[in-house]
Amino acid sequence: MTGFVSFVSSGPGDPELLTLKAVARLQAADAVLFDDLSSGPILTHARDGADLVGVGKRAGRASPKQDHVSRLLVDYAATGARVVRLKSGDCGLFGRLEEEITALQAAGIAYEIIPGVTSASAAAAAAGIPLTRRLTARRVQFLTGADVTGGLPEGLNWQALADPQATTVVFMGKRTFGAMCAELVAHGLPESTPALLAESVGHPEQKITRTTIAGLVAILAEGPGTAPGLILYGPLAGDEA
């Protein structure tokens, strides 16, 4: 008898932003494998007696390897357990969801995906701004600022990323934004383009910093810090709540 895996999106960290379906799966789970940013109050929804296993990855810290996480999912489900794989934000965005799905498919284990509030949407809401605006911010684009080595990904479409009429959201980009900004400016984006840094979104220590792309480079050069952060730049980023 094989179990079942629910990939549950926990949102940015605020337990009030969980969906009703996410709460129901947590309450029914025999085991919860959770990301670092999905810990804390969110785990209070797990039922008493459930196995709670931290498998999160954070830059600059020792973290479980992806194949180990995938193996844990398979091993738990193989016992017939109801398993929740709790991922921060929306699990379909830069959460290595596909690799874990592939492992389950190879083992013949059924699964479902429960969407949630993305950290990008939560950051914009915390800053009191929309992600789009007619005529001046007609497109939204998400990208990761770090590849598997932690460096700036290769092969990025710099012309698209330097579009002054797009809202661009950079995940995991605090350590590489200096190099990214240099390319953006080289491809025509003004250094005065508004930018904001949203750190620890959905947590009590949440912080929103408004500046420009050049100003953000200067801020991050002093040290990116350890708080999880999201960078948003474009015509809306400078708006005040």
CA distance 113 to 117: 13
Single out the catalytic residue among 35, 87, 163, 174.
35
The residue to which tokens 């389950």 are assigned? 104
Is 35 a known active-site residue?
A: yes
Helix (H, G, I), strand (E, B) or coil at 73: helix
CA distance 212 to 237: 9
Helix (H, G, I), strand (E, B) or coil at 217: helix
Identify residue 86 by its one-letter amino acid code. Answer: L
Is 174 a known active-site residue?
A: no
CA distance 67 to 55: 11
CA distance 7 to 143: 21
CA distance 231 to 195: 7
Alpha-carbon distances of 132 from 14, 82, 113, 167, 168, rounded to whole Å: 23, 39, 27, 7, 10
Helix (H, G, I), strand (E, B) or coil at 74: helix
Identify residue 14 by its one-letter amino acid code. Answer: D
Largest separation between any pair of C-alpha atoms in the chain: 59
The token pair that represents 156 in the structure block: 């990025």
Identify residue 18 by its one-letter amino acid code. Answer: L
Single out the catalytic residue among 14, 21, 30, 57.
57
- As annotated, the active-site residues are 35, 57
